[in-house]
Structure 1
Amino acid sequence: MTATSAAAALAVDRARVATFSVFGFNGLLFASWSARLPAVAGIFHLSPGGLGLLLLMTGLGSVVGLPWRAVWRAGSAPQQPSGWPVHCSARRCSWWPSA
């Protein structure tokens, strides 16, 4: 194995671990948020249709809020350090205690 192929294999391994970590962490955040859905619906007095609309709008808002021009210009890697704190702070309400 040459040094170039060893470096490439290491880069692939790091990318695999990073991808697994990001998806795993996002799964934990989503699980905590979905466990709080009945409480959120109760706090805001949402009907099942209103709750469905809330979930639809959060998905659409995350797509609309993407920095498309910055990602096209620089790639997605520079966006990750700034994106995760925003993502985690937006999901912070999943850890709020029940009222």
Structure 2
Amino acid sequence: MFEYLVGLEVTNNQIYTQYRNAMTPILKQYGGGFGYDFVVSEVLKSAVDVPINRVFTIVFPTKQNADRFFSDDSYLAVKAEYFDSSVAHTTIIAGYETA
């Protein structure tokens, strides 16, 4: 399995929820899913200078599946419609193989 640990600054929860609902069927086509999902109220230490108020893991069977998902035209259309207007910053905290 391949997993990303991601931090976001979500600026519009309603639109971000629409993004999650619209992208999930596409994510599942690539064998992907969410492992953990947290709303963060306070960040005590960060390696970046942008705010983070949401942290989650997104998992795929392989890194290649992740790459194909993130470049899929249907996903990119959903991202343009919902994600770009609801998220101010994205921080990829880590990407790694899991057992």
TM-score class, shorter-chain normalisation, is: under 0.3
Structure with bigger RCO (C-alpha 8 Å, 6+ apart): 2
Please tell me whether Structure 1 or Structure 2 has the larger radius of gyration of its CA atoms: 1
Q: Which has more helix, going by share of residues? A: 1
Q: Which has more strand, going by share of residues? A: 2
Q: TM-score, normalised by structure 1?
A: 0.28
Q: TM-score, normalised by structure 2?
A: 0.28
